[in-house]
Structure formats: C-alpha cells, structure tokens
C-alpha cells in the first residue's frame, strides 16, 4: 500500500469527496495530517462521509463545503470562499466527475454535461484557486483522468455534441482526455511562468465505485444499459476503492511524481495493480492542442490564468 507522506500543516481541497476515490483520498490525506475540505455537490452526503471518516480517525480535520462543478456560479462561490479564508492552498484534487449519462444532458450554463462537469468546471475551479495555490510554498494540482482517454477525441468544432450524435462513452472519453490535456498544459504554464506549482494526473483503472451507477445521471436515474453490461463482465479485473485511489494519491503527494506526469495501475490491462507511470496518449502530448483547448475553456468559462496573454 502506498504510504502518503506527512501532510501536517497542509490545506487540501478534494472534489467529489463524499464517496469512492474522493472519499478515500480525503480520508488518507487527513490521516496523514492535512486539513481537508470535502468539496461536494450535496452537503448532506458530505457530512455523512465526514462522520464516517471521523469514526475511524477522530482527530482528522475535515470540513464540508458545497460545489457543483456543473454550475459555474457555484464554482465561483466556492473558490471565493477558499480565497476569503486567506489560507494558502497546498493541494487541489480534481476528482469529481459524472460518467456516461444515457442521453445528452446539459449543465446550468448550457454545456454538455460531461464536458462541462468533468473538464470545464474543474478548469474554472483550478484557475480561480490559483492565487491561493501560488501562495503555498510547493502547491500541487492533481486531476483525475481515465483509461478511456486513450480512445478519446477532442472535436474542436463540436465540443458540446451539438452537431454529432451524442454517444455516452465517447463523450466521457473526450472529457477525460480533456482532463489529461488540462493537467499537461497546467504543468507547461507553471514551467513557463516559473510557478512552484506541480500539476499531475492519474487514472484509477477499473475501480468499483458508484460512478458507474449514480454517476450516470447525477444520482437521479438508473444507470445506462452499457454500465449494467460492463458490471456483468466478470473476466475484467477489478479492484476495490482503496487500491484504486493509490494512483491519485501518488500523483498528488509523492515527491517522485513528475510535473505533467500521469499515473495509474500497473497490472493487467492497466486496470488493477500498484501505481506506476501510465502511458500518455499522443493526443495529450500535443502541446499546441493542449494550449488551444485551455484557451477555449477559458473563453467558455470566463476565467483567465494569472499572467495569461492572448
């Protein structure tokens, strides 16, 4: 098991921390001494997760704050609250996501749900939190991608699936490729502007969480037939949330995790096993495409990275 280094004195935000990999990451970061904000869409679920973590770790420093990554006003309000605290932010874990709703849905701002929730919301949050991050001595941002990024395509002419026929998994793959491209470009920005920030990415392989069920329609409906089918494929290796969270924790806390690095399970098909450096699809190695996507995202969300020039 990966041993999270001492996090004493560090201030951390984990999105989607009420269940799955987010909850496990929050638990282990708090256990290592960090003060952790459980950033969740439904505060009641966040409070239940907080209580469960405290039951096993009574001294854990945890607080619940609301954020809806499918609503840019909520993202802005959450970020304003963090900035108002005046506390440097040592680590942002962009973990929350929604997976493959069977029909095309939209965010509060009219974006296709997966592209908006999985990519645009986290990018807007990251940019808005840059002042707090850059106030920390060695800040880090870790973004959860997915193995599906390997077959993702970013269609710059139709990012929102307005012209193409909507396909749940292809839309999901695009959003998770976009996450990987975001993490890579943030690392480039940090290097170019001499920021002390380290941006990394991870994927959980095939980890059994509620993303495939509640995530399919934000908890408001049944999972798609595709998810029900996948859940019956017993030949696919699967792992529990504990080991499935380790690549995320490694990317977020290991001194050996490189800027722009990507980490995932190193076992069968990259679905299970101990954390290792994951292969980065060539589409996320295209610096020009990464920068173009970042610029488009800033334009869509109305945020702008510190010192950015157009």
- Residue positions annotated with a catalytic role: 172
d(CA 166, CA 101): 10
Task: Please calculate the CA angle 151-294-116 and round it to the nearest 5 degrees.
Answer: 65
Within 13 Å of residue 99, how many CA atoms lie on the same side as its CB?
22
- Edge to edge, what strands does the sheet with 35-40 contain? 61-66, 35-40, 11-15, 91-94, 140-144, 198-202, 262-265, 275-277
Tell me which residue has tokens 């949050």.
125
Would you state the structure tokens that stand for residue 28, as one six-digit string?
Answer: 């282990």
d(CA 95, CA 15): 5
Q: Choose among 140, 132, 106, 143: nearest CA to 15.
A: 143
Within 13 Å of residue 274, how many CA atoms lie on the same side as its CB?
3
What count of residues does the chain have?
310
Which residues, at least 6 apart from 296, have a Cβ–Cβ distance to it below 8 Å? 156, 159
């Amino acid at each position: 098991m990966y041993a999270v280094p001492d996090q004493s004195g560090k201030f951390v935000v984990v999105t989607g921390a009420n269940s799955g990999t987010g909850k496990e990451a929050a638990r282990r970061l708090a256990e290592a001494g960090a003060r952790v904000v459980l950033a969740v869409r439904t505060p009641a679920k966040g409070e239940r997760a907080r209580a469960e973590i405290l039951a096993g770790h009574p001294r854990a420093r945890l607080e619940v704050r609301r954020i809806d990554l499918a609503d840019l006003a909520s993202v802005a309000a959450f970020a304003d609250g963090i900035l108002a605290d005046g506390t440097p932010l040592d680590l942002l874990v962009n973990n929350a996501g929604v997976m493959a709703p069977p029909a095309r849905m939209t965010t509060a701002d009219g974006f296709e749900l997966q592209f908006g929730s999985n990519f645009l919301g986290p990018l807007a949050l990251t940019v808005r939190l840059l002042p707090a991050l850059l106030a920390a001595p060695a800040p880090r941002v870790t973004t959860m991608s997915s193995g599906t990024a390997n077959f993702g395509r970013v269609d710059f002419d139709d990012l929102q699936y307005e012209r193409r026929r909507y396909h749940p998994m292809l839309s999901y793959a695009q959003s998770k490729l976009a996450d990987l491209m975001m993490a890579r470009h943030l690392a480039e920005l940090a290097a170019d502007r001499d920021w002390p920030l380290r941006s990394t990415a991870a994927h959980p392989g095939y980890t059994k969480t509620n993303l495939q069920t509640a995530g399919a329609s934000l908890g408001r409906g049944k999972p798609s037939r595709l998810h029900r089918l996948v859940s019956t494929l017993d030949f696919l290796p699967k792992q529990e949330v504990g080991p499935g969270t380790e690549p995320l924790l490694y990317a977020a806390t290991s001194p050996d995790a490189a800027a722009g690095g990507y980490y995932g399970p190193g076992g069968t098909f990259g679905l299970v096993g101990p954390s290792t450096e994951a292969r980065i699809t060539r589409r996320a190695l295209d610096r020009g495409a990464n920068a173009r996507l970042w610029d488009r995202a800033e334009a869509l969300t109305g945020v702008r990275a510190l010192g950015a020039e157009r």
